[in-house]
A and B are shown apart, each in its own frame.
Chain A
Amino acid sequence: MASKIRTQEQATGWLLLLPAVLLLLLVFAYPIGRAFWLSLFTENLGTNLQPVFSGVSNYGRMAVDSRFWQSIWNTSLFTALALTLELVIGMAIALLLNQSFKGRGIVRTVAILPWALPTALIALTWAWIFNDQFGVWNDILLRLGIIQNPVNWLGEPTLALLATVAADVWKTTPFVSILLLAGLQAISEDLYEAHAIDGASPWQSFRRITLPLLLPQILIAMLFRFAQSFGIFDLVQVMTGGGPAGSTEMVSLYIYATVMRYLDFGYGAALVVVTFVILIIAVAIAALVINRLQKNSA
């Protein structure tokens, strides 16, 4: 009798799960699996867009494709710079928002605002801020006497990359602060008081109490940020289109151009596969570390 109810419960359970699982398979699993399969074919204008089996030749081509390696380098540089700044600034904002002061609620609201806004529109905003002729950033720097002549921020390779990093930091730092703030609020005041009685300075308490206890939140925030940043598309596509001279062409922009502009579906699929594998490896390593930490603290 009890086991019959239990089987029934399981059947209902799976029935309720099924639509969600099927949709996830359709939109996530199928495209990835399909990319693996398609990457073994040449399907481009040269083959009249018909798939012709070509083994691993797409991967061979990738190994000597300097534009691909350039895009991987650009993406890695972008990710490293953005994540570092987001962690440092995000931590500072989280510590600030964890203080008690008048109007904290409204300041929190203001602080999460950038995160909620559409990335494509943020890209337009920052392209306008960094405009070489009329941009407000040049205007501020000129007024302060930091530069003597307007700088072409989006027209110089290194500066353009830094400009996209700045826009990304503005947009996604709030996300990091929110996760860190939740972690900070879970740390007991008593720990700090006991430490202060022992004569520790605030900086020492931060290093010995805050950082170790916050490590899981830091890692989770960085894991999400890494995955999103490595696949960054809209911000850079709208802000610079990958230019100048390919200096901001991220791997996602290269994939998009390969498929949509050059109609090279087989090679585009191979690029998707490699990006996917890089991501999965990074995620697996991060998950292992997070798991370890949680076991140690438990």
Chain B
Amino acid sequence: MASSKPTAQNSISMRTILLAIAVILLVVFSLGPMLWQLLTSIKVNEDISAVPNVYIPTRYTAQHYLELFQRRPFLRYMLNSAFVAIVSTALCLLLGAPAAYVLARLRVPGERIVMGVVLVVSLFPYILLFLGLLEIIRVLGLGNNYLALIIPYTAINLPLTILVMRSFFQQLPKDLEDSAKVDGYSIVQMLLKIVLPMTLPALVTTGILTFIFAWNEFIFALTFITKEQMKTIPVAASQLGGASVFEIPYGPLAAATVLGTLPLVLLVLFFQRKIIQGLTSGAVKG
């Protein structure tokens, strides 16, 4: 008894040490690359191209950020991304939430087919869609129009919205709706007056995820928008070039990465719990 006690303590402290090492590794793995970009973005050019690398610079500069706003319409890119992401998120909730309610609660003919379609299309990579969408956009003359992004973004986020909202509606107690029906509410009235207020948390969860996907989308934004003033952040940042092909603007590229990821970093900081909850209930793409 007396001899077994120290070993138990030893094994507990061993466990604590291993756990600490693993946690530190995980944090370094997760944050390292972005911290390196952050550091690069505030280094002076000589330090950026110093060999061996400078990890603790003695001089800092805001020059790379200023350059983004002076030589490029970077604020405009940010606003473009925000506008497209917010509008498509709103549309997606507007169309997706009622559809999810129907699929969760009402018995309508063909609902199994609709659910099947929703599950399958949530797996489609966008490369399979851009050719057909390009034709539609040409025929409708929607090139260089925000609608050319808003409509596809709304659609690509619908499967996720429907899956997350549907699983939320299924967990909602049915009594309230039943008594509303007895009181003579129509389905639309009941949705607006009784279900919607209870649904706000789930709408926030879903909205955060759709916002992230819309902000991050690349291939449609690259293909359907060619006007400089209308580009979104991911495309504009990936096309930052120097005065010549040999002169890669490492500083501004790093600054653009920091600015383009900042809104999402804030979202994750504030809504970590909701993001995880939404991801697991919708089992969405990675």
**Which B residue sits closest to A273, measured CB to CB?**
B128
A272 close to B264 (CB less than 8 A): no
CB of A68 within 8 A of chain B? no
Q: Is the CB of A233 within 8 A of B158?
A: no
Report the Cα distance A17→B27, complex, angstroms. Answer: 43
Known contacts A27-B156, A96-B26, A111-B26; is A233 also within 8 Å of B238 by CB? no
State how many angstroms separate the Cβ of A147 from the closest Cβ of chain B. 13
Interface residues on A, range: 35 or more
B52 and A133 contacting across the interface, CB-CB below 8 Å: no
The proximity string for A residues 122-162 relative to B, scoring 1 for CB distances below 8 Å and 0 otherwise, is 11111011010110100100110000000000000000000
* A93 interface hit (Cβ, 8 Å): yes
Q: How far is the CA of A74 from the CA of B83 in the complex (A)?
A: 36
Nearest CB on A from B170, distance (A): 16
Given contacts A20-B162, A21-B99, contact A129 B36 (CB under 8 A): yes
Given contacts A134-B51, A143-B52, contact A234 B218 (CB under 8 A): yes
Chain B residues with CB under 8 A of A12: 106, 186-188
The answer to whether A124 touches B268, judged by C-beta atoms less than 8 angstroms apart, is no
Residues of A within 8 A of B250 (CB): 128, 131, 134
- Report yes or no: A27 in contact with B152, Cβ–Cβ below 8 A: yes
Q: Are the C-beta atoms of B95 and A23 separated by less than 8 Å?
A: yes
What residues of chain B lie closer than 8 Å to A20, measured between beta carbons?
95-96, 98-99, 158, 162
CA gap between A134 and B52 in the complex, in Å: 8
* Assembled-state Cα–Cα distance A230/B123 (Å): 11
Chain A nearest CB from B150 CB (Å) reads 11
Chain A residues contacting B121 (CB-CB under 8 Å) are 24, 28
Binary contact readout B1-40 vs A (1 if CB under 8 angstroms, 0 otherwise): 0000000000000000001001100110111011011001
Chain A residues whose CB sits within 8 angstroms of the CB of B102 once the complex forms? 13-14, 16-17
- The one of A26, A125, A231 in contact with B126, judged by C-beta atoms closer than 8 angstroms, is A231
Question: Contacts A17-B114, A108-B276, A118-B234: A32 and B23 contacting too (C-beta < 8 A)?
Answer: no
The answer to whether B283 and A31 touch across the interface, beta carbons within 8 angstroms, is: no
Cβ B40 vs Cβ A128 within 8 A: yes
Please indicate the chain B residues that have their CB under 8 angstroms from the CB of A179 in the complex: 279-280, 283
Q: Does B247 contact A (CB under 8 A)?
A: no
CB-CB under 8 A for A125 and B128, given A116-B264, A118-B233, A139-B53: no
Let me know if B61 is at the binding interface, CB within 8 A.
no
B44 to chain A, nearest CB (A): 13
User: Which 5 pairs, one residue from A and one from B, show the smallest C-beta to C-beta distance?
Assistant: A231-B125, A31-B132, A175-B286, A27-B155, A120-B234
Q: What are 9 of the A-B contact pairs (CB < 8 Å)?
A: A10-B109, A16-B98, A21-B99, A26-B155, A118-B215, A120-B234, A124-B253, A139-B52, A228-B285
